[in-house]
Amino acid sequence: MDNSEEVREFLTSRRAKITPDQAGLPAGSRRRVPGLRRSEVAALADVSVEYYSKLERGNLAGVSPSVLEAVARALQLDDAERAHLVNLAQAADGSDVLTRPRRRRTKEQWKPHRSLQWVLDAVTAGPAFVRNGRMDVLAANQLFRAFYTDLYATPGNQQNLARFTFLDPAARRFYPDWDSFADITVAIVRTEAGRNPHDKDLHDLVGELSTRSDAFRTRWGAHNVRHHGTGTKHFHHTAVGDLTLAFEGLEMAAVPGLSLTIYTAEPGSPSEEGLRLLAAWAATNEASPDTERSASG
C-alpha cells in the first residue's frame, strides 16, 4: 500500500505546528510558512535539505531508525506521534507485513476469549469494556451497557464509538464536552490507521464518517494522534445526571490491538453515588442491542 500521501501530510502538519522560537531558531523576516521551513527541520535533524524534502514528499521506505528519531526530535513529536512515524515508515517499506496480519479482521474475529467476559462481569463498581482500534465495542459489563444505553439503542451505531460520536445526535448530550471527545476519537482512529494501514474495515469507517460528518472530516485532516490510557471525563446520563469519571485503559497482551477500559468515580463523590444509582437502574433496565432509546428517559 502506498502511504506516501499520509506520510507527506503528517510531516507537513507537524512542521507547521513548530515555531522558530519553540525550536530555538531566529524567526527572521519574510517567513511564508506558519511553522518551520524544510531547511530548518533538515538542519535540526542533521540531514541534507534534499534528503528531508524526499522524506516529506512521502518516501520513508528504508529510512533508518536513527534518522526517524532525529526527525522526531526536530519536529518535537510526542510519544504517540513518534510511534505513528515509525508505523508509517514500516508500512512504507513493507516491514509491517512481517509483524501484522494483512487479512481482513471482522468484528467477530476480534472477539476476545469468553473468559474476558467473566472478568468484565466481575467489575461491578464501574463501566468496563473492550474495544479495538476502530472503536468497535467488542465486550462490556452490564454497567457499561447501561451507561452507553444510547450506543446500543441505535442499530446504525453498530456498537462503534466513532459512529456514535459523529453520527448519533445523542452523543452531544451524553458528552457535555463533545469537542474534546470528538478530538480524542479521531486521534485514536488515526493512530490505528498508521498501525494497521491494510485494514479495509477501518478504511470503510473513515470513508463513511468523512462523507457523513464535516466535523470528522476536518479533524481527520489535522493528522493528530494520541495514546489514550488514563484521564478524567465528564458525561451526562439521562437516568442519573452528570458524572465525572476517571478511566484507565490497558492494552491486552493476549490479543494485540485490543484495549480494556474501566471507568470509576472518586470515592464519596456525587459521581460514585450516580454510578450506584445507574447500577440499580441497570438491574431493572438491562441495556442491550435491542433496547429502545425511550428506556433511558
One domain for residues 118 and 49: no
Please tell me the predicted confidence (pLDDT) of residue 98: 39
38, 54, 93, 104, 240 from 62: Cα distances, Å: 20, 12, 6, 26, 55
Instruction: State the residue range of the domain holding 254.
Output: 107-296
pLDDT in tens, 72-94: 999 999 999 999 999 999 888 77
One domain for residues 94 and 126: no
pLDDT in tens, 37-85: 999 999 999 999 999 999 999 999 889 999 999 999 999 999 999 999 9
Encode 74-118 in three state secondary structure.
Answer: HCCCCHHHHHHHHHHHHHHHCCHHHHCCCCCCCHHHHCCCHHHHH
Please tell me the predicted confidence (pLDDT) of residue 283: 87
Contacts of 279 (CB under 8 A, 6+ apart): 124, 142, 143, 146
3-state SS, residue 263: strand
Please tell me the predicted confidence (pLDDT) of residue 226: 87
Please tell me the predicted confidence (pLDDT) of residue 286: 65
One domain for residues 161 and 261: yes
One domain for residues 82 and 174: no
For the chain, how many structural domains are there in total?
2
Mean per-residue pLDDT, 177-199: 94
One domain for residues 25 and 111: no
Last residue of a domain, one of 99, 123, 148: 99
Contacts 24+ apart (CB under 8 A), 120-125: 120/144, 123/262, 124/279, 125/264, 125/275
Is 199:104 a contact under the CB 8 Å cutoff?
Answer: yes
CATH number for the domain harbouring residue 94: 1.10.260.40
pLDDT in tens, 100-155: 444 445 555 556 677 889 999 999 999 999 999 999 999 999 999 999 999 999 99
One domain for residues 137 and 241: yes
Mean per-residue pLDDT, 165-193: 97
* pLDDT surpassing 70 at residue 3: yes
One domain for residues 264 and 123: yes
Our measurement of the distance from residue 33's CA atom to the centroid of its chain's CA atoms, rounded to an integer in Å, reads 29
Length of the chain: 297
CATH number for the domain harbouring residue 255: 3.30.450.180
Q: pTM value?
A: 0.83
